[in-house]
Amino acid sequence: MQNSVVYGILLTLLASRERVSLAYLAKKFEVSERTVRRYLDALMASGVPVQTVRGPSGGYSIASSYKLEQSYFTAAEYDRLITCLHALSGNFPDRLNRDLIDKLSQLDSSRRSENDYLVKSDTLVIESGTWNNPHYYRGRIETINRGIADGITLSMHYTDRNERSTDRQFDPYSLVLKEGVWYCYGYCHERKDFRLFRLSRMESLTVTGRKFEKRDNDVYAKLNEKFDDAEQIELFLEFAPAIRADIEEWLGSETIRSSGETLTAQAQVYSGDALVRKLLSFGPQILVKKPSFLAEELQLACSRILSAYENGITP
């Protein structure tokens, strides 16, 4: 077994956001498809979560939460690799370069801050990560905290809620946790205004080295703002008792009514794709009664999901 090929296949899968075909791997490393299968089996046997999708559009991928062993690089090597990737951003302004920076920053942060929590006391603990990936936000939060503490402008590649991607620079003022979602409140140089940036939508977050002067601001006013470009609708739904706690957390206990065994909730919410995704997350334990157009959107989304699984294609 050629260790260099095995390691090359691992790095190829880590760097790719799309599934990689067997034929592609065989051609890239100049081995047979049978040999690639054997090397993939070896990776899986060693604990690497290689995911397999069969069919004409199938292939292999690795879960985005997977991380290389932290002992592969020293602290100086991490810093040098990240610095080099940033220096090459002009030559390779693509998704691959941004992904490599994010993964190395995340891994370096978890190595340096294995036991760090944002808040850790006898009565309150705040952990920035997720159950499956406890180091997910730590690299970004460390960079933001550095920018806040030193008054340094940050740069990033950002995708907004309308799926528009842009390179931005912003002055970080504070970290915000709202409805279980992490944001950074700061002044956006592109928009010339204060914004809430969602951490999960940030890529290639870096310190520019340029100092900024703080402007008058009000993070609490920003948190109470309404979305000017999003329509509010009156949502009325029925739901199963098993998810009552989830509905209370989302819409508030005051929105819930009980009539016999039937539980309902009625509240003003913002419409859009985020609402559809939220409702789909409850599965069959929820039924939207009003508005009718939202119920139709959910039916259409469910039909697309069913069709994707029946045909083995991405909807």
- From first to last of its 315 residues, the chain has per-residue pLDDT tens of 666 677 778 878 877 767 888 888 888 888 888 888 888 888 887 777 888 887 777 788 887 666 665 545 565 666 666 666 666 666 666 666 666 666 666 555 555 444 455 665 666 677 766 666 666 677 788 889 889 989 999 999 999 877 788 999 999 999 998 877 889 999 999 999 999 999 989 988 888 889 999 999 999 998 887 765 568 899 999 999 999 999 998 898 899 999 888 899 999 988 888 899 999 999 999 999 999 999 999 999 999 999 888 887 655
| Domain boundaries of the chain, sorted by first residue | 3-62, 75-223, 232-311
Are 188 and 195 in contact by the 8 Å Cβ rule? The answer is yes
DSSP string, 198-231: EGGGEEEEEEEEEE-PPPP--HHHHHTPPPTTS-
**What is the maximum alpha-carbon separation in the chain?**
68
Q: Tell me the two tokens of residue 306.
A: 């069913």
Cα angle 61, 157, 112; round to 5: 70
Whole-number pLDDT of residue 314: 59
Query: What is the 8-class DSSP label of residue 20?
Result: B
> For residues 265, 270, 272 and 273, what is the CA-based torsion angle, rounded to 10 degrees?
-70
Closest CA to 290 of 305, 312, 268: 268
Cite the DSSP H helix spans in the chain: 3-15, 22-29, 33-45, 75-87, 95-112, 138-150, 219-223, 244-251, 273-280, 292-311
**pLDDT at position 75:** 58
Task: State which H helix or E strand residue 116 sits in.
Answer: none
| Cα distances (angstroms) measured from residue 315 to each of 162, 245, 275, 293 | 19, 31, 19, 21
Amino acid letter, 30: E
Q: Which CATH architecture best describes the domain 3-62?
A: Orthogonal Bundle (1.10)
